[in-house]
């Protein structure tokens, strides 16, 4: 979704509700100043967690290796132990 700053101010509640419902960011364009992005806190938290996990080159390599293994169907399904 994209809107102007003026329209965003006029319909603030509607836009915020839409961002929450659709889980899609809202891009707010401004004529003077940098544009901004509005997103739900859960989406923001998810992005920050991903950045944190990929910050370490060793951890990033391990995660990417696991994704490749999963995509190559080399992984095995296991049941979780419930206590």
Each domain of the chain, given as residue ranges in start order, spans: 2-39, 42-71
Q: Is the pTM of this model over 0.85?
A: no
How large is the C-alpha radius of gyration of the chain?
Answer: 19
Output the pLDDT for position 19. 96
39 neighbors 16 (Cβ within 8 angstroms):
no
How far apart are the C-alpha atoms of 19 and 17, rounded to whole Å?
6
**Residue 71: burial class (beta carbons within 10 Å; 0-12, 13-18, 19+):** exposed
Give the whole-angstrom CA distance, residue 40 versus residue 21: 9
Name the pLDDT band for 69 (thresholds 50, 70, 90). Answer: confident
CATH code matching the domain that covers 2-39, chosen among 3.30.70.2740, 3.40.1620.10, 3.30.70.100, 1.10.510.10: 3.40.1620.10
How confident is the model over 16-60, as pLDDT tens digits? 999 999 999 999 999 998 999 999 999 999 999 999 999 999 999
């Amino acid at each position: 979704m994209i809107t102007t700053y003026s329209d965003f101010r006029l319909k603030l509640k509607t836009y915020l509700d839409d961002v929450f419902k659709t889980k899609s960011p809202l891009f707010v364009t401004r004529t003077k100043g940098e544009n901004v992005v509005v997103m739900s806190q859960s989406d923001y938290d998810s992005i920050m967690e991903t950045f944190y996990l990929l910050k370490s080159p060793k951890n990033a390599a391990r995660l990417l290796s696991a994704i490749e293994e999963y995509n190559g169907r080399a992984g095995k399904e296991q049941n979780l132990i419930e206590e």
